[in-house]
Chain A
Amino acid sequence: DTAVSQTPKYLVTQMGNDKSIKCEQNLGHDTMYWYKQDSKKFLKIMFSYNNKELIINETVPNRFSPKSPDKAHLNLHINSLELGDSAVYFCASSQVLGVAGELFFGEGSRLTVL
């Protein structure tokens, strides 16, 4: 029974398209995150939500819009995709707000923009 699950696992699309990645956690955690891992393996935080409320919004282009319909779900929608958006996107959750606790990561969604 997967704790943090993301769909789809792979996305291949053309520049200019719009795509979404969905994330669900069944751990009962209050906080969820999106991280981006680029080709150099750098793992950077994009957003965090606590109980459906946006807490952290790093300097991410407006083309990226997270949505949290409830505290178990955090989706990421990306408009007008660019080549530089190609990366692996990881969803994660933690029990508490802040980083006093362990992050549980999903398996990642590999986005390739052609």
Chain B
Amino acid sequence: QQPVQSPQAVILREGEDAVINCSSSKALYSVHWYRQKHGEAPVFLMILLKGGEQKGHDKISASFNEKKQQSSLYLTASQLSYSGTYFCGTEIDGNEKLTFGTGTRLTIIP
């Protein structure tokens, strides 16, 4: 089952903050976040494993709520380089398969 991301698209001005959500209908073992710029390959941002950890990567951080089967990606003080489509990828316990979400297109304008 494909995880659902929200919002589908968002437009921000440089310096504004954004939150991208990823919801699954099944219990999760791990959540991954990737960013894909137009015409390019997806690029890894971070992994969150079962255990409720939160990770950060410069001004991009994420949380993982196992009980709610959700993860959120936080982008603070957004930069033009943050533009792209963000995908969460989820792994259900033991199946060793990453299923990508529906994607969120983020556009940062000056």
Chain A residues with a Cβ under 8 A of chain B: 35, 41-45, 48, 55-56, 90, 97-108
Report how far A107 CA is from B39 CA in the complex, Å: 9
Could you give, for residues 72-109 of chain B, a 1 whenever the CB lies within 8 Å of some chain A CB and a 0 otherwise? 00000000000001010101000011111011000000
**Contact of A107 with B44 in the complex, beta carbons under 8 Å:** no
Which chain B residues lie closer than 8 Å to A107 at the CB level?
A: 40-41
Q: Bound complex: CA of A29 vs CA of B96, how far in Å?
A: 16
Asked whether A44 and B41 contact (CB < 8 A) given A99-B30, A99-B89, A99-B91, the answer is no
Which residues of B does A touch, CB under 8 Å? 2, 30, 32, 34, 36, 40-44, 47, 49, 85, 87, 89, 91, 96-100, 102-103
Tell me if B41 and A108 are in contact (CB < 8 A): yes
List 22 contacting pairs A-B, 8 Å CB cutoff, sorted by A. Answer: A41-B85, A41-B103, A42-B103, A44-B100, A45-B97, A45-B100, A48-B97, A56-B96, A56-B97, A97-B96, A98-B91, A98-B96, A99-B30, A99-B32, A99-B89, A99-B91, A102-B32, A102-B44, A103-B89, A104-B44, A105-B42, A107-B40
CA–CA, A109 and B4, complex, Å: 26
Chain B, residue nearest A41 (CB): B103
| B3 CB, min distance to chain A CBs, angstroms | 11
Which of A45, A99, A101, A105 has the most chain B CB atoms inside 10 A of its CB?
A99
Q: A100-B30, A100-B47, A102-B47 are in contact. Are A43 and B97 (CB under 8 A)?
A: no
Residues of chain B within 8 A of A106, CB atoms compared: 41
Task: Report A-chain residues with C-beta under 8 Å of the C-beta of B97.
Answer: 45, 48, 56, 99
Distance between Cα atoms of A99 and B89 in the complex (Å): 10
Instruction: Give the residue name and chain of the B residue nearest to A101 (CB).
Output: B47
Q: Are B41 and A105 closer than 8 Å at their CB atoms?
A: yes
The complex places the Cα of A56 from the Cα of B94 at a distance, in Å, of: 13
Q: Is the CB of A103 within 8 A of B44?
A: yes
Per the bound structure, the CA–CA distance linking A35 and B47 in Å amounts to: 19
